[in-house]
A and B are shown apart, each in its own frame.
Chain A
Amino acid sequence: MKCQQCDKQAVFHITELETGEVRELHLCEDHARTYLNQSEAAEGDDDEKPAAGGLTGPLTVGQTADELALLDKKACPMCGITFFEFRNQGRLGCPHDYAHFEKELEPLIANIHGATQHTGRKPERAAAEGTAARPEGTEELTSVIGMRRSMQEAIACEDYEKARESRDAIRGIEDRWLCGTGRDAATPKADTPTNET
C-alpha cells in the first residue's frame, strides 16, 4: 500500500476515532512522523499528554484532554497495566483487560473487526469429578493473577495471615479449574447457560 501523501510504501497505518467518525491513514515513515508531531502539538503542552506511540498512536474517542489523562491512569486490578501502557505497546496485559477496559476497547475493536460479538467456536469445558460445571468464561480463573499479586504484597509486608488467605483462595480456584487431566475431562459439558461475572 502506498503512502497517502507520496509514492513511498505506507508503513504506518493509523486509525483515528473521532466522535461518530472513523478515519484511516496510511503513511510512510516521514509523513507519519510529521502527522504524529502535529497531532501531539495540537494537544497542547499538557504534561500528562501521552507520547505518540506506534500504531495505537493518538487515540481520541471524543474525550477531552483531562478525560484522556484520567483514562490513561486507569489500571487493571489483575495485571496492573494502565490504558496508557496499552496504547503505547499495542498489547494488553492479561485476559481481564477485556472486561476492565471494555468501554474503551469497544470502539477500537469495532473499528478493527467491524463487529463486537464473538460468533465462533467456544471451549468445551467439562467438570472434573465431583465439582460443578465450569462456566464458559474464564474470569474466575483469571482472578488468581490479582490474588497472586496481593499474596506477594502481603508477604513483603510480613502479613502472613493475609498471605495464607490469598494462597488458599488461589488453591480453591485452581483446584476447580486445573485438576482435569484430559481423561476425566473428555466429555463435553452440558449445554447450560453461563453465569458470567
Chain B
Amino acid sequence: MKLDSLTDAVGEWLRGTGPESDIVMSSRVRLARNVAQYPFVSRMSEQDRAEAERFLRERIAAAPVGSQLEYIDVGRLEEIDRQLLVERQLISREHADAQGARGVAIDGLEQVSLMINEEDHLRIQCMHSGLDLRGAWEQIKVVDDQIGRVVPYAFHPRWGYLTACPTNVGTGIRVSVMLHLPALVITRQIDKVFRSLHKISLAVRGLYGEGSQAMGDFYQISNQTTLGKTEEELVEQVGDVVPVLIDYERRAREFLVRETQQNVHDQVSRAYGILRTAQTITAEETMQLLSRVRMGVLLGLIGDVKIADINSLLVRTQPAHLQKLRGVELDTKDRNIERARYLRRHFEGGTSPASPN
C-alpha cells in the first residue's frame, strides 16, 4: 500500500455516512489476542519479537482475509508515516512509538486493521462509519475466526483469551463509539453525562483513545470490563447507551436553537469566519472550530458546507496529513501557517457569496 494514497482518501471513520452520523462518527470493535508459544510483548527478546511478527504475518496472509489486506512494516516507517497511520486511527500512538519488529495489515476500505506486536501480539480492529456496532462485530468475528484457525491464540478455560494486561483478559474486546457532542459541552451537561456513564462501568476517552484529551467535542465511549460477559452482551452494553446519548445531544441542540438562537448562530459564524480567514492556526484550535462549524451545518445555520468536507478537514489538518499533502516536512510554526492556508484555500472553493478572500 502506498501510504501517500491514504492522504487522498478519507478513510472509514470520517466518511460521515451511516446511521445517526450527525452525532455518531464511527463504531469500532477491537479484539486483543496473543500467540500461546511466545512471551507477551513487553517480555520478548528482540529475536522473539521478530519471530512472532513473522509467524503472525505469514499466517494472516494465508487466511482467507489475508488476500484483502496490505501489510505495512511499521518498524521501518519514517516517523511522519507512523504519525499518519495514527491520525487515521489505523494504529495506536503506542504502536507508532514502540521499538522493534511490528507491523499492521489494513484492508483497502480502512475498515479492518490488524496490529502486530502492540501491547498484545495481535490487536484486530474493525471500524464502521456511523452507528453500526453490530456490523463491526459481525465483520470482526469472521476475521477473528479465520485467524484463530491458523494461529493458536493463548486461551485458558477459566480466564478466556489471555492478554498482557489483566484489564483486557477474557473476551479481549473493546467496543467503542466516537460521538460528536458539542451541544452537551456548550450547555455544560457533559460532565453529568460522563459521571452516569462511569457508574454503569463505561469509559470515556478522547479522540485518540487512552490518555488522549477530548479535542473538538469528540468523545469515545467504550466498555471497561472484558470478563464475565459474552462479546454480544458487551456490544449491547455500549450499543444500549448510544441512543440515550444521541437523544440528550439532540435535545441540547434543540434547546440551543430555541433558547439561544442568536448566540449559537453567532458562535458558529465566528468559528467559520476564523477558519476562512486565519493566517496561522494550531491543530487544536482548528479541531475546536471545525467542531462548532459541524454543529452549525447540522443545525442549518451554515448552508454552504458539506459534513463530509468538515470530516475530511478534521483529519487533513492534522500534522502528518498536512505535511504529506504539502510534500515537505514543516516545523510547528510553519505547520500552523500551512494549516491556515489549506483551510482558506478549501473554503474559497466553496460557494459562499460572502467569501472574504
Contacts and interface: CB of A to CB of B under 8 A. Distances in A.
Of the candidates B34, B119, B158, B231, the one having the most CB atoms from chain A within 10 angstroms of its own CB is B158
A92 B37 contact: no
A136 B230 CA distance: 17
A105 interface: yes
Contact of A137 (B42, B155, B229, B230): B155
Interface residues of A, number: 50
Given A89-B42, A95-B162, A109 B155 contact: no
Interface in B98-153: 119, 145-146, 148-150, 152-153
Of the candidates B167, B170, B226, B230, the one having the most CB atoms from chain A within 10 angstroms of its own CB is B170
Contacts of A119: 228-230
Q: Would you call the interface of chain A mostly helix, strand, loop, or mixed?
A: loop
B171 A138 contact: no
B325 interface: no
Given A112-B167, A120-B170, A93 B40 contact: yes
Contacts of B165: 90-92
B225 A182 contact: no
A136 B40 contact: no
Interface residues of B, number: 47
A90 B40 CA distance: 12
B147 to A, nearest CB: 9
B198 interface: yes
Interface in A120-146: 120-126, 134, 136-139, 141-142, 144-145
A74 to B, nearest CB: 16
Contacts of A99: 156
A180 B149 contact: yes
30 contacts: A79-B43, A81-B43, A89-B42, A93-B39, A93-B42, A93-B43, A94-B39, A95-B156, A109-B166, A112-B227, A113-B226, A113-B227, A113-B228, A115-B170, A118-B159, A118-B171, A119-B228, A119-B229, A120-B160, A120-B170, A120-B173, A123-B153, A125-B152, A137-B155, A137-B157, A141-B37, A142-B36, A142-B37, A196-B156, A196-B157
Interface string B227-251: 1111100000000000000000000
Interface of B: 34, 36-40, 42-43, 59, 62-64, 119, 145-146, 148-150, 152-162, 164-167, 169-171, 173, 194, 198, 201, 225-231
Interface string A137-164: 1110110110000000000000000000
A1 interface: yes
A64 interface: no
Contact of B40 (A94, A122, A178, A182): A94
A108 to B, nearest CB: 6
Given A95-B34, A115-B229, 16 more contacts: A92-B40, A92-B165, A94-B38, A115-B228, A118-B169, A118-B171, A137-B155, A138-B155, A138-B156, A142-B36, A142-B154, A145-B38, A177-B36, A182-B64, A182-B149, A185-B150
Contacts of B38: 94, 145
Nearest to A119: B230
A141 B42 CA distance: 19
